[in-house]
Amino acid sequence: MTDAPTPALEFVFELFIDVEEGWHIGRGPDEKLWFTPVTGGRISGPRLSGSVLPGGGDWSTKRRDTTQVEARYLIRADDGSIIDIVNRGYFRAKPDVEARLDAGEPVAEDEYYFRTAFTFRTDAPAHRWLAENQFVGFARDEEGQIRIRVYLLP
């Protein structure tokens, strides 16, 4: 048996997502459900630039100390192409760190866990590569936005 290669991630772009304050939807046994509307934003990077369109949002379910997130929204590439995004992942922080984030304080990214995996859908030939590969995101709360550095997993 041969050793599998260790993948090297390729940075492709960063998302700067504007959001409104979240809405509490409900509560089940040991969980809380929230919706956070996406109001806009931008994309900047070596492989894709454009804007995040208003609409869509992030449904999050908090169970104990971990929040499972599922965001869905649209982006418009600089060439006018529309790309659908589904972004799922996990957020976890110690209570004191979460309180600092909620208060809008700057918190170092290594003080909490916020990782996602993307699915892109588009029929635009220039952006088909998005729909044919796997991507991971390293997310953080910063300056009132959700910022996600997106990497191609070869």
Prediction pTM value: 0.90
What pLDDT score does 1 carry?
61
Q: Which long-range contacts (CB under 8 A, 24 or more apart) does 8-11 make?
A: 8/154, 9/136, 9/151, 9/152, 9/153, 10/151, 10/152, 10/154, 11/45, 11/46, 11/149, 11/150, 11/151
Domains of the chain: 10-153 (2.40.160.20)
What pLDDT score does 67 carry?
94
Structure tokens at 77: 């590439």
123, HSE (Cβ side, Cα atoms, 13 Å): 0
Element (DSSP H or E) covering residue 60: strand 57-63
Q: How far apart are CA 1 and CA 3, in angstroms?
A: 7
For residue range 2-39, what is the model confidence (pLDDT) as tens digits? Answer: 788 888 999 999 999 999 999 999 877 788 999 999 99
Q: How far apart are CA 37 and CA 109, in angstroms?
A: 23
For residue range 90-145, what is the model confidence (pLDDT) as tens digits? Answer: 999 999 998 998 888 888 889 999 999 999 999 999 999 999 999 999 999 887 89
HEC-encoded secondary structure of 132-153: CCEEEEEEEEECCEEEEEEEEE
